[in-house]
Amino acid sequence: MKQQALELAEKAHVGQKRKNSDAAYITHPIRVAERLEANGFSEELVCAGYLHDTVEDTLIEIEDIEKKFGPKVAELVAAHTEDKSKSWQERKQHTIDTIRNAEKEIKYLVVADKLDNLLGLEADLKEQGDIVWEKFNAGMAKQKWYNQSIAENMHDGLDNEDIPAFFKEFEDAVKRVFG
């Protein structure tokens, strides 16, 4: 099933590039899925890692994911899919509310995604400088608010033994990028 999820994500994201580079977009969902798999999470969660941006950024619909991968993968992807008809602020507040209240697998997916995005941003800032912020829908101050809010709310409802090491990686990256 994981191979099928990777293949669907590769087809869906074909031709797409990362925000501040010429890197193929698919490198991002692959890293998210690999991080989830390295932490020993379920096959469904790893598949959701590969597919987490397909509904939001491609022609794939949540029904396609449910039909091919089942209700659990579809539920995970749907929980982390932004409604692009809403404003940036509304979408990000929804993600913050989701991370605060969601079941742990959704938290793991969201934080794995945000960590990979933040590590990419950190590398882009080192390489290109502050011009990187011009490619975002919201500038540095709003990005800081968003990422700090994720970090502040991601532990809610989790026991210490349920918190993966990459949550600390995310917190450390937030501090490095935003101070």
Residues assigned a catalytic role? 56-57
Neighbours of 92 (CB within 10 A): 21
